[in-house]
């Protein structure tokens, strides 16, 4: 099992990256250096509670080759928070790459930032990892495999051909291919994980579950796309973090691992579970315009991860995980309230 002392977590101020940063600090001895541009989706507050001597925060762009190079060369901490300066004296020995433009609807409205961050940004990091021979783990998505029919008996595996549908998923697929090529051609010590839909605390309220919870909390009606029968395979973000750690420390170089927790549910079911838990009538929502190119169903077979690395999810009760997530948004109104108006105005302009 490989050991790491100082890990760069790109996108560590976003939803899944910040959950991973908290998990690493709580469960390992590694120091975390977060590199995050703090786009609309990043929030420095997501990292609150992590002791200053375990975290270095660098406010910067993964497309900034000079900055990335200086971080790996050990001279880039000038951009770090004053409070955390000097906390990380060990050289960076791994990059876990979460930073991305991550929302499908945004990619349909304006794909340009997706090509820049997801493709150019991954290229920039890979070049630096190659130069400094740093272990690289790439966070990707099940969406690279396209979608499945509702009655298809199969699920995605590591062998499923790539067939991305949206500007978002096509840029994630592109970044995966770059990682594979850099691994094979240049010997970059890389792995890839493709995970299903995450839920849990700190998820931006543009995404399905927190959008509906916060709609109800501020007296708006939830919004369901299309016929509501699209299926997503839900996993609690803490289970994703645990799986990424397994792949980082025990995964075979050059391999891809699919991460999923057998959590298939259609959107209508999930929305009605939220309405019910929040004391609302199950029909108290609006049907809205469907997403163009909307993927029908995602489903992950995580057999390889379970067999090879011994991982299994601990959040196996979706109702319980959803309940805790609802509570988190109820108790952390100040975290989301300021961006609710602008998020909903954007959706309203799209008829959603």
| 211: partner contacted, choices ligand NAD, ligand TDX, none (Cβ within 5-8 A by kind) | ligand TDX
Q: Give pairs for 122-125: CB < 8 Å, separation 24+.
A: 122/62, 122/97, 122/175, 122/178, 122/179, 123/178, 124/62, 124/63, 124/64, 124/65, 124/68, 125/10, 125/62, 125/68, 125/95, 125/97
| From 4, 168, 202, 298, active-site residue | 168
Measured from the CB atom, is 67 or 224 closer to ligand TDX? 224
DSSP-derived secondary structure letter, 221: P
Only one of the segments 117-125, 147-155, 203-211, 333-341 lies at the binding site for ligand TDX (rule: CB under 6 A); that segment is: 203-211
Task: Name the residue among 115, 257, 141 with its Cα closest to residue 207.
Answer: 141
Q: Reply yes or no on whether 143 is catalytic.
A: yes
Contacts (CB under 6 A) with ligand TDX, residues 104-123: 104
How many residues in total does the chain contain? 352
36 is a contact residue toward ligand NAD (CB under 6 A): yes
Cβ count near 13 (within 10 Å): 27
Q: Which stretch binds ligand NAD (CB under 6 A): 12-20, 48-56, 154-162, 316-324?
A: 12-20
Rounded CA separation 140/62 (Å): 16
CB 55 within 8 A of CB 87: yes
By CB under 6 A, tell whether 23 contacts ligand NAD: no
Measured from the CB atom, is 4 or 98 closer to ligand TDX?
98
By CB under 6 A, is residue 19 in contact with ligand TDX?
A: no
> Applying CB under 6 A, does 137 fall inside the site for ligand NAD?
no
Assess 124 for contact with ligand TDX (CB under 6 A).
no
| Dist. CA 282–CA 43, nearest whole Å | 33
Active site residues: 142-143, 168
Using CB under 6 A as the criterion, which residues of the chain lie in contact with ligand TDX when the complex forms?
102-104, 141, 143, 197, 207-208, 211, 223-225, 230, 232, 267, 291
């Amino acid at each position: 099992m490989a050991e790491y002392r100082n890990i760069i977590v790109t996108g560590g101020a976003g939803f899944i990256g910040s959950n991973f940063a908290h998990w690493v600090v709580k469960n390992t001895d590694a120091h975390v250096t977060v590199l995050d541009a703090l786009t609309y989706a990043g929030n420095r507050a997501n990292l609150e509670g992590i002791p200053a001597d375990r975290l270095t925060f660098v406010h910067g762009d993964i497309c900034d080759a000079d900055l990335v190079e200086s971080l790996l060369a050990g001279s880039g901490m000038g951009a770090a928070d004053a409070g955390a300066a000097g906390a990380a004296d060990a050289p960076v020995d791994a990059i876990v790459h979460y930073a991305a433009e991550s929302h499908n609807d945004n990619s349909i409205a304006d794909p340009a930032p997706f090509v820049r961050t997801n493709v150019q940004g991954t290229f920039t990091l890979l070049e630096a990892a190659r130069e400094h021979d740093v272990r690289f783990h790439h966070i990707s998505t099940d969406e690279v495999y396209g979608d499945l029919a509702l009655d298809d008996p199969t699920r995605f595996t590591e062998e499923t051909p790539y067939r991305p549908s949206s500007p978002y998923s096509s840029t994630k697929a592109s970044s995966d291919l770059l990682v594979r090529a850099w691994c094979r051609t240049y010997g970059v010590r890389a792995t890839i994980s493709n995970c299903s839909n995450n839920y849990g605390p700190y998820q931006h309220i543009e995404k399905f579950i927190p959008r509906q919870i916060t709609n109800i909390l501020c007296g708006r009606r939830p919004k369901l796309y299309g016929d509501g029968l699209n299926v997503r395979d839900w996993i609690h973000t803490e289970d994703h973090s645990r799986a990424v750690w397994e792949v980082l420390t025990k995964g075979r170089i050059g391999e891809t691992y699919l991460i999923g927790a057998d959590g298939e549910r259609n959107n209508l079911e999930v929305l009605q579970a939220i309405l019910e838990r929040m004391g609302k009538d199950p029909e108290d929502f609006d049907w809205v315009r469907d997403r163009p190119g909307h993927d029908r169903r995602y489903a992950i077979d995580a057999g390889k991860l379970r067999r090879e690395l011994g991982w299994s999810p601990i959040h196996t009760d979706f109702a319980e995980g959803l309940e805790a997530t609802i509570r988190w948004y109820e108790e952390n109104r100040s975290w989301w309230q300021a961006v609710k108006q602008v998020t909903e105005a954007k959706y309203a302009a799209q008829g959603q």
